[in-house]
Amino acid sequence: MKKEEEDLLVYDEDEAVKFILNFIPAESKENIDNDKIEYVLDVVYDFYEENGLIDEDSTEEASIDEEEMFKYIVKCSKKDKMNLSEDDIQLILDGEYEYGKSLGIYREDEEED
């Protein structure tokens, strides 16, 4: 049985959206709704695909340039007129990261100062 494949199957976008909505502060919920969260998650997936970070046949961990990904999401959201601030995007990404950590998909190797 392959544990890595099971981990990937555990990630549920609907559950991720619910988790992120519960994660973000109440005052941010005025501008961040399900559709905007789903949009950011889709753009993250597009970023992974465009950068060759998704390989279903590999169980190796990928190294992600978070700053590059963040800039990519900001650029796409402006182009698509999603009305998301950089703070909104960061909150969604933080929530997605916490969701992934709760599933064991992400882990903290080094603490940032």
pLDDT means over runs of 10, the chain (113 residues): 49 92 93 96 92 62 80 97 96 94 74 43
Query: What pLDDT does residue 105 have?
Result: 78
Q: What is the pTM of this model?
A: 0.79
Q: Which amino acid is at 89?
A: I
Residues 6+ apart with CB under 8 A from 1: none
Output the DSSP codes for 45-92: HHHHHHTT---TT--PPPP--HHHHHHHHHHHHHHTT----HHHHHHH
Domain total in the chain: 1
Query: What pLDDT does residue 62 have?
Result: 59
| Residue 41 domain flag | yes
| Residue 59 domain flag | yes
Residues spanned by the domain of 99:
3-103
| Residue 78 domain flag | yes
Query: What pLDDT does residue 1 have?
Result: 40
